[in-house]
Each structure stands twice: as C-alpha cells, then as structure tokens.
Amino acid sequence: MIVYRIFQFCRDKIKFLYSKNFFLDRLQKDRDIKKGAFLMPVTLKGRHFLTLKDFTPDEIKYLLKLSKDLKDKKRAGIKGKTMRGKNVVLIFEKTSTRTRCAFEVGALDEGANVTYLSGSQMGKKESIEDTAKVLARYYDGIEFRGFKQKTIAEIAKYAKVPVWNGLTDEFHPTQILADILTITEHVNKPLHKVKMVFVGDARNNMGNSLMIGSAKLGMHFVGLAPKAFFPEKKLVTEMQKVAKETKAKIEFHSNIKTAVKGADVIYTDVWVSMGEEAQMADRIKKLKAYQVNMKMIKATGNPHVKFMHCLPAIHDMKTDVGKMVHKKFGLKEMEVTDEVFRSSHSVVFDEAENRLHTIKAVMVATIGDV
C-alpha cells in the first residue's frame, strides 16, 4: 500500500509539473506574440499530408515541436484528449508494422477511434473517387499506404477530410519527421550543421523524402549511390532551388570516401522494396559495394556518427528473406552488416519509436483540437 501511494504521488507530481510547464510555455508564447515574434502562427487544421514538398520549414518545425511535446506527455503518463470523438480509417495496400501500429496507437492515445481497412473495393468494384467520397462521410481523417502517389493524390482530391501518406513508391513523409526528430535527439548540432548521407538506392521513396526534408530544414544531404540510382533530375532541381533559400546543401556521389567524410548520420534502406522482388539479383550486383559496414562508419572520421534505417533491415539470417538471400546469393547481410546494426552507432529503435510521436503529431495538427 505504501509503495502504491508513493507511485501515485510521483505520477501526480509529474502531471502537475507537465501542466505547469505547458502553462508557462503558453504564457511565453502569448508574450512573444504581443512582441511580434509570431506574426503568423502555424495552423495545419484540415490540411492533407501527402509530401513534405507541400510544407514550409516553419510548418515542419511546428510538427517536430508538437511531436516532442506529445512524446513528453506520453512518457509522463498523461492521456490525451485532442482527438476525442474523432474517427480515422487506415487503408493499406502494402503491409506494415511501424506505420500501422503508430497510427493506431497514436490515434487511440489521443482519444480517436480507428478502423483498419484492407481488401477494400477501392480500384476494383469501386473507383478511388467514390471510395474517397464515402469514407469522408464516415471519418475525420484517412491514411493511405500503398504503391502509387497518384492514388493518394486522387483520394485527397475527392475526400473533404485530411488525407495522410503512410508511404508510396515516391514519398514517405511521416518517416522523415521521425528521422529528423531522432537526429535532433542524438546529434549535438543544430540541423543546419548536420551532414546526412543516404546510402543505396537514392532514387527510392526514402532517398527522395530525406532529400526534401534536408532541403527544407537547411541540412547537408548527400546521396551515395551508383549514378544509375540518383533521383530524377526534376526533383533534384526543385530541391536545389529550395536549398538556396534555406542554405541547405544537396550533393550526390558514387565515391564512398568522398561522400561519407565528416558525416553525422549514415542512413540506408533495403535495396529491394515491396513489388520489386524480381529485381533483387540486379540490385545486389549493383549495390553490394555500398553496404553500410564498419569500414564505412570509420571512413566518416566521426566517432559519434549515427546509423539510421527506416526498417525492416536485412542484417542477419533470422528472417525468411534473409535466409532466401543467403541461399540464393550467398549473402549473410544486405544493406547493413549486423555489426553496425547492433553497434553503439545505431539509433534505429529510437528512430522507430519516434514514428509513433510524429505520426500522432500529424493527426493532432490536422484533425485535433490544438
């Protein structure tokens, strides 16, 4: 009984301190507004979240700050109410662990109800347009994770509620918010001084999205890949224009030593995404030299360099895919070695946790009461 009462006292104290700090933060914001520090308060209510290209640096920073606040609140054991009475639906063409769980737990944490929708009639017996119009009558927000960006764009066109991108072949914006939040927690530098190197297929959704996020926030982004795996020139040109405004730096290299020197973050992703399995042999042949290993980590010259990966990773033979790759291609590891994955450089599980807090922030900002 005594132990339980001590626990109750500590919990109530944390809640009080959190509420007090929240009040003081609000008071400071009010003072800043009166001084003219915030002439244009950020509001994302009713906005779609399809790609970070659609958001200003200040709007992205707002989402990161909100993510941090929601993370602190959850760790303090405070139940949220910002989405009480709201209903969200999750549409999945591609399977998922982190995206589905983060959306479900994030919504439930803030009082919303969740429907997981798989095997729907969308695009089969019912058009995307009709499906979007129907779901918008039932739900306050719609999440889509699938193949084509044009599918989510069409959903957003006809749904009169916010639509959130859980992943498409072109972009993965919720992942990037989690990545940047993780960098702010683990790299002791302001973002405009951070050098991040993405290794592997730099033209995939992660390569594209990390470049966009870096350009928006003034970071130094390097894509390290064979030239055939560089992103589309149109997107690179677009982001270089953004980079001029934010003082970001965007580069692409095929030489490993040149690319990774001085890096604060080494980031990679699987070489073969869902739906690309037929290209595995070709990808392994062309990307094998770009495996993230301890030699690459040491080549950065930075003993504090962090390793990041959006997961899942093929770093051992404890999965069906890992066993298949070993049997067919003789590789025990693919895009990253088990040594690096489990090393002190790796922050992949902190990064995975931050999917929850950043996805929650996207929902709260667009349909919640904030």
List, for residues 39-76, the tens digit of each pLDDT value.
Answer: 358 999 999 999 999 999 999 999 999 999 999 999 99
CB 287 within 8 A of CB 229: yes
Domain map of the chain by residue range?
Answer: 33-171+354-367, 189-303+306-344
| Torsion sign across C-alpha atoms 96, 97, 102, 103 | positive
Q: State the CB neighbour count (10 A cutoff) for residue 208.
A: 27
Q: Which of 48, 98, 100, 145 is catalytic?
A: 145
Catalytic (active site) residue 201:
no
Q: Which of 69, 140, 179, 310 is catalytic?
A: 310
Which CATH code of 3.30.1360.120, 2.40.50.840, 1.10.640.10, 3.40.50.1370 fits the domain covering 33-171+354-367? Answer: 3.40.50.1370
Q: What superfamily would CATH give domain 189-303+306-344?
A: Aspartate/ornithine carbamoyltransferase (3.40.50.1370)
Catalytic (active site) residue 175:
yes
CB 103 within 8 A of CB 88: yes
Provide the 8-state DSSP code for 362: H
Closest residue by Cα to residue 353 from 122, 172, 175: 175
List, for residues 335-369, the tens digit of each pLDDT value.
Answer: 999 999 999 999 999 999 999 999 999 999 999 99
Catalytic (active site) residue 145:
yes
Q: Which residues pair with 87 in a beta bridge?
A: 113
The Cα-based distances of 111 to 192, 195, 304, 360 in angstroms read 36, 38, 39, 11
Q: What is the DSSP string of 26-82?
A: HHHHHHHHHHTS-SS----TT--BS-GGGS-HHHHHHHHHHHHHHHHHHHTTPPP-T
Q: Which of 269, 291, 315, 357 is catalytic?
A: 269
Q: Which of 48, 175, 179, 315 is catalytic?
A: 175
Q: Give the pLDDT of residue 341.
A: 98
Determine the Cα–Cα distance for residues 175 and 344; give it in Å rounded to an integer.
22
Extract the runs of DSSP E, i.e. beta strands, from the chain. 87-92, 113-117, 141-145, 163-167, 195-199, 220-224, 249-253, 265-268, 306-309
Q: Which of 98, 100, 172, 357 is catalytic?
A: 172
Q: Do domains 33-171+354-367 and 189-303+306-344 have the same CATH topology?
A: yes
Catalytic (active site) residue 269:
yes
Residues with Cβ within 8 Å of 368's Cβ and at least 6 positions away in sequence, in order, are 82, 83, 86, 110
CB 84 within 8 A of CB 108: no
Contacts 24+ apart (CB under 8 A), 316-322: 316/341
330 conformational bin, left if phi > 0, alpha if psi -120 to 50, beta if neither: left
One digit per residue, the tens of pLDDT, for the chain of length 370 reads 555 555 565 666 555 455 445 444 544 444 433 333 333 589 999 999 999 999 999 999 999 999 999 999 999 999 899 999 999 999 999 999 999 999 999 999 999 999 999 878 999 999 999 999 999 999 999 999 999 999 999 999 999 999 999 999 999 999 999 999 999 999 999 999 999 999 999 999 999 999 999 999 999 999 999 999 999 999 999 999 999 999 999 999 999 999 999 999 999 999 998 788 899 999 999 999 999 999 999 999 999 999 999 999 999 999 999 999 999 999 999 999 999 999 999 999 999 999 999 999 999 999 999 8
Catalytic (active site) residue 310:
yes
Q: State the CB neighbour count (10 A cutoff) for residue 88.
A: 24
